[in-house]
Structure 1
Amino acid sequence: MDGSQGELFAASPLDPSEVRRFLADNPDFLKGDDGLLAELGLTVATSNVVEFAPLARVHAAHQEETKQRQMLEEVARANFAAQAQTHGAVVDLLDARNNADLARRVDEVARTRFGLAAGVIALECDGLPPAGWRGLVQGQVDLILDGPHRLARMGFAPTALGLFGDDAGEIASMAMVRMAIWEPARQGLLAFGSHDPEGFTPEMGSELVAFLARVAERTAERWPLL
């Protein structure tokens, strides 16, 4: 073969069917050429099996991607369910007939809609609070929230156990949001208690609880405190 014929032969494209036929007729060709195997990213797993390492890595990456997507979908479903329950809770609170009924509905929402141990409204006052509400002394909201400028507190707070009365022994974590009701504003709290120590943690956002607190404030203001 002269040079021109060699160049013509080298430039001719390979027919995939011929390559396939050659490999089928010579099954040991790949296994015997370590250099070619390395270039192709293949390894010989056993005496007669060629492992496609790149494909294995792709498969592993696909499995991890699927796992991450499923986790994101679960979080999205949980968020959607929480928002749906919160919207239902808002309707329940707005239907309250008086302050006592509002306190009852807060506890009912906590137990039936969110699976919690209890829900409480508390108010700093000199006399008796509205029926069903927890009475607090002046400055107690700041003490419970651990500071005069804190609007919310998530997690376990021993100073808040008294809010839950007879249910205090069941409370392992709390979500609490500051409230300001009526004019002049009176300091109060909307508090939810969970049986689960991880039910509410300091890392959690308080947006949904704060939203419910604002609804409770506006609802309570229908009935001025005498």
Structure 2
Amino acid sequence: MDGSQGSLEEAPLGPAAVRRFLADNPAFLREDDGLLDELGLKVAAGNVVDFGPAVMARVHAAHQREATQRQQVEETARANFSAQAQTHGAVVDLLESRNPSDLARRVDNLAQHRFGLAAGVIALETGGLPPAGWRGLVEGQVDMILDGPQRLARMGFAPTALGLFGERGERVRSMAMVRLAMWEPSRQGLLAFGSADPEGFTPDMGAELVAFLARVVERTAERWPLL
């Protein structure tokens, strides 16, 4: 084989070369049934190559992708609307609390019956007894549970928080926890929700709705100052 033949074999086959070949050999594509099938084409009347099947397949695929994306957006919007509606209903319930014990009961009740969770708890750092129905914490325990004094919330699973949920702690596989600051001088506490689903609360989730409920708990609890 001489040098010129080697150069021809090594030269890349570009679109322009393919176009010239098909223009010079119009029967090549029409008569190759196997190639037509692979390309999703067919020969229509008058020896015209019909691109309909290939074009329709691409249009259908694009439509399916668009429909799937639209459905995902709609499902997310519905889930967000439902969560907000449940949260607003929970706020009304909390504001109707008659005392600290009733507030703790309502937090646990809305966790189970409104949100389908395992438990809802209010905890407070106190040197004495916490309000009835609340969990007592030692000084600095809120920082330990939230994994730092600067953190306002923590989502996911935290083994150090299992004790908050008492006997139901063995069912809890993920938590949503938000720092509370109540009364003057400020007392540190936690609003905590526990889920039996490991994916119920994950670190990449936003804590906005839980934080909103925490602010409502703070304002409600301040009706009954600790003596």
TM-score bin, normalised by smaller chain? 0.7 to 0.9
Measured in 1, the distance between the counterparts of 2:64 and 2:145 equals: 47
Indicate the residue corresponding to 1:89 in structure 2: 90
Indicate the residue corresponding to 1:59 in structure 2: 60
Indicate the residue corresponding to 1:69 in structure 2: 70
Indicate the residue corresponding to 1:44 in structure 2: 42
Measured in 2, the distance between the counterparts of 1:138 and 1:42 equals: 72
Instruction: Tell me by how many angstroms 1:54 deviates.
Output: 1.3
Measured in 2, the distance between the counterparts of 1:110 and 1:133 equals: 15
Task: Please give the residue correspondences for 1:25-44 in structure 2 after superposition, counting only pairs within 5 Å.
Answer: 32=30, 43-44=41-42
Q: Which amino acid aligns with 1:196?
A: D
Measured in 1, the distance between the counterparts of 2:120 and 2:107 equals: 5
Instruction: Tell me by how many angstroms 1:55 deviates.
Output: 1.5
What stretches of structure 2 of length at least 5 have no aligned partner? 1-26, 44-48
What stretches of structure 1 of length at least 5 have no aligned partner? 1-28
Superposition misfits of 4+ residues, deviation over 4 angstroms: none
Give CA deviations for 1:151-197 in whole Å, capped at 9, x if unaligned.
00000000000000010000000000000000000000000000000
Secondary structure of the structure 2 residue equivalent to 1:180: strand
Alignment pair present for 1:181 and 2:179: no
Measured in 1, the distance between the counterparts of 2:143 and 2:111 equals: 23
Instruction: Tell me by how many angstroms 1:33 deviates.
Output: 6.9
RMSD: 2.1
Give TM-score scaled by structure 2 length: 0.80
Q: Which amino acid aligns with 2:42?
A: V
Give CA deviations for 1:55-112 in whole Å, capped at 9, x if unaligned.
2101110011001100110010000000000000000000000000000000001001
Measured in 2, the distance between the counterparts of 1:106 and 1:85 equals: 13
Q: 1:42 to 1:200 in 2, by over 3 A?
A: closer
Instruction: Tell me by how many angstroms 1:44 deviates.
Output: 2.8
Q: Which amino acid aligns with 1:86?
A: T
